[in-house]
Structure 1
Amino acid sequence: MNKQKRHEILTRLRDANPHPTTELHFTTPFELLVAVTLSAQATDVGVNKATAKLFPVANTPQAILDLGVDGLKEYIKTIGLYNSKAENVIKACKMLVELHGGEVPESREALEALPGVGRKTANVVLNTAFGWPTIAVDTHIFRVSNRTNFAPGKNVDQVEQKLLKVVPAEFKVDVHHWLILHGRYTCVARKPRCGSCLIEDLCEFKQKTD
């Protein structure tokens, strides 16, 4: 895909949604960190239902530590893998309190050192909480990037590096939200909704649907 086509795709996505953000509900960087950690192999809707009950009771590292693992599990037991997620969140809260004064660090290295936080989660927090031009590649972004030929790659790391290289600076902060939403609602996994896609004429997918 050429540079002009990519620019037009991003321009259209921006025009349709000038101020995109995550569909996870949060009010602080810490709430975002917890929500993203819980969202692995779970839906944003499911995470939001759990955090709607959790955050009014405990939305700081110390408050969640005070709940303890079993107390936290009661709030998140509707979410997949909740046992291991509860353990990781508690361990991460302990590190945040002991090493970072209870604050979420604005540092990739410090974030990735937290239990349950990988590169993708760190990218989401740095981008959404702190405005960094990072691109967190999930299954939606991986699919859209490959299917459209916008930034093809064999794995999420390759797609991330390609996106960082080909996305112009003016779009970098928001591109991961646009691509996630496009993959979630239009360029869906089983049968893409090409007929209602605002970039269909620019997409290089061979098997387009009606």
Structure 2
Amino acid sequence: MVTKTSTVKNMTKKQIKTFFERLRDQRPNPTTELNFSTPFELLVAVTLSAQATDVSVNKATDKLFPIANTPETILGLGVEGLKQYIRTIGLYNSKAENVIKTCQILIERHNSQVPNNRADLEALPGVGRKTANVVLNTAFGHPTMAVDTHIFRLGNRTGLAVGKNVLEVEHRLVKVIPKEFMVDAHHWLILHGRYCCIARKPKCAECVVSDVCNWPERFEFGAARAIPVNNI
């Protein structure tokens, strides 16, 4: 459920600062829930995670990575060999082909290293803007914003970043989030959207930022009315 953008006011700068201070206090060291130990493992995991849960990807890569976790070793498995490890993940046929092609490109063009720039990442099979943003942010510390369904919903619902599509929301987030929060903002938002600001029954009564949220319906889900939102 995404609130209509016309009914939600954009957060003020003060609200946004308070919003991220609270999320930082709640999770001082946020990170992805995908299991990885190298940029290459992260690239593979994020590629596999499209239209799949992190839990399902972790179950597959926990078996795959001890056997093959470099471009050379995964390429050695071949498409059919790789499928045996990831067949429980949605769209595993096309994902296996993309990962194998990616391994070939990394070996041939990038000395088996994951590129540290958007253009080269997005040139890899199966790697779009969101995947590139995740890798750049999580593996290399770039202040990028990967907008998934959770962040898109949260941005529109709270008034943090109102937009009609993921690109509008991404651009708005990058514009309004203070620099001090930007590197970790993606993780704070996705975790908050995944576990608190959920789609059908958001946990507003437990939310640490309900008093700076502009969603008109938050009170119906337990947000305290006594908090002076207009004074923030």
Place the TM-score, normalised by the shorter chain, in its bin: over 0.9
- Tell me which amino acid in the other structure corresponds to 2:150: H
The structure, 1 or 2, with the larger RCO (C-alpha pairs under 8 Å, 6+ apart) is 2
* TM-score where L is the length of structure 1: 0.99
| Alpha-carbon distance in structure 2 between the residues aligned to 1:111 and 1:125 | 9
> Among 14, 17, 33, which residue is 1:23 paired with?
33
State how many pairs are aligned: 210
Cα distance in 2 for partners of 1:64, 1:108 equals 23
Give the whole-Å Cα distance in 2 for the aligned partners of 1:90 and 1:111: 15
- Matched to 1:87, the amino acid is E
Structure 2: gaps spanning 5 or more residues: 1-10, 223-232
User: Shift of residue 78 of structure 1?
Assistant: 0.3
Matched, 1:51 2:57: no
Are 2:74 and 1:69 equivalent residues in the alignment? no
Unaligned runs of 5+ in 1: none
Structure 1 CA distance for aligned equivalents of residues 107 and 101 of structure 2: 10
Match of 1:193 in 2: 203
How far apart are the structure 1 equivalents of 2:31 and 2:196? Answer: 17
Shift of 1:133: 0.4
Distance 1:101 1:154 in 2: 40
Query: Structure 1 residue 89 and structure 2 residue 99: aligned?
Result: yes
Q: Give TM-score scaled by structure 2 length.
A: 0.90
Which residue number in structure 2 is paired with residue 8 of structure 1?
18
Show the 5 A alignment for 1:100-139. Answer: 100-139=110-149
Q: Deviation per CA, 1:169-195: give whole Å up to 9, x if none.
A: 100000010000000000001111101
Runs of 4 or more, structure 1, over 6 Å off, are none
The answer to whether residue 183 in structure 2 is matched with residue 183 in structure 1 is: no
Q: Distance in 2 between matches of 1:24 and 1:89?
A: 17
**Higher Cα Rg, which structure:** 2
